[in-house]
Amino acid sequence: MEVELSISAKKKTRSVSQRGVKTAEEIAEILRSQMPELSRRYKVASIGIFGSYLRGEADEESDIDLLVDLEDGDEPLTLLEFIALENHLSDLLGAKVDLVEKSALKPAIGRRILEEVQMV
């Protein structure tokens, strides 16, 4: 009987914690509303969601996987600016962001990401 209670308690905890996880649609809405600032401040040309949030498999421990395409320009973002962008996005979305630059994708994983990503 104790085992059944533990299992029930775990299921309830899991479903309660999932209510706090944003959906891909909510994330996309936030990103869309912030695109003018992201473009001006960080040279973001486009941004998209992939991974567990897009597939609806995210939980409170999941990070948000974002693919970013930066504007071509004379001065690319420095590493510190890229980290600042990643931190800014984490603050906006209320969860850790794993930011991947489109031009830095490796062929094997890049193909999978490009097939899955939903641009906003």
Residue 68, classed as helix, strand or coil, is strand
For residues 67 and 93, is the Cβ–Cβ distance under 8 A? no
Catalytically active residues, by annotation: 63, 65
Q: Cβ–Cβ contacts within 10 Å for residue 84, how many?
A: 14
CB proximity list for 56: less than 8 A, separation 6 or greater: 23, 24
Quote the CA–CA distance of 45 and 7 in Å, as a whole number: 47
